[in-house]
Amino acid sequence: GVTRDDYAAFKFFSEIVDQDVEPGSPEESYVSDALVALGDYLRKGIPGSPVAENEVAAQEYYMRAAANYRNPNAQFEMGQMFLKGEGGVKASVKQAGRWFQLAAEKGHAGAQATLGNLLFQSGKIVRGLAMMTAALERAAPADQPWIRGMQEEAFAAAGEADRRTAISLADDILTKGGDDQ
């Protein structure tokens, strides 16, 4: 019942981040989530407010959350920035893969799908397809369309034997409860 006010939220998250609690403390998740929220706001800016788009500042917030608090959403965003060379970082598939791997190990479906796509593109067809397929099953509804598009494109490019093996491996990944790492 409250009107959405992104600038008020930005100020609120800034106050939380200013507290900068120690990693491992009970407040850690609040601070790491606030860092990610600030990164999200700075990546695009907030129209009609003093918060302008600033990808470098966004990257700094994501990095703090990813490195200090091991936040999987921040690790995923760092992977995206390294993949695209955004936020003042030099494009590096290797660095992107490292961040995606960390987030994927924590069950981040977007990171699992993106890492799977990187593996697929590098010639690891079955493993990549399996990761994308398992990620699609685990993904939140908002992420399913882009993951499905990536997975279907790779699936169409793969041979029948690789597709069958990947489906079996994805089923193993999903039923064993662990991720595919």
- Are 42 and 58 within 8 A, CB to CB? yes
The span from the CA of 148 to the CA of 1, in Å, is: 33
Overall pTM surpassing 0.75 (yes/no):
yes
The total of other beta-carbon atoms located within 10 Å of residue 62's CB is 29
**Strand (E) or helix (H) holding 91:** none
Structure-token pair, residue 83: 């993949």
Structure tokens at 120: 């697929």
Name the token pair of 139: 């993904």
Per-residue model confidence as pLDDT tens digits over 72-125: 999 999 999 999 999 999 999 999 999 999 999 999 999 999 999 999 999 999
What is residue 177's predicted lDDT score, i.e. its pLDDT? 60
Task: For 28, list phi and psi in degrees, rounded to 5.
Answer: -55, -45
CA-to-CA distance for 35 and 43, rounded, in angstroms? 12
User: What is the rounded average pLDDT of the residues 121-140?
Assistant: 95
CB neighbour burial string for 125-134, b if at least 16 within 10 angstroms, e if fewer: bbbbbbbbbb
Residue range 35-54, pLDDT digits in tens: 999 999 999 999 999 999 99
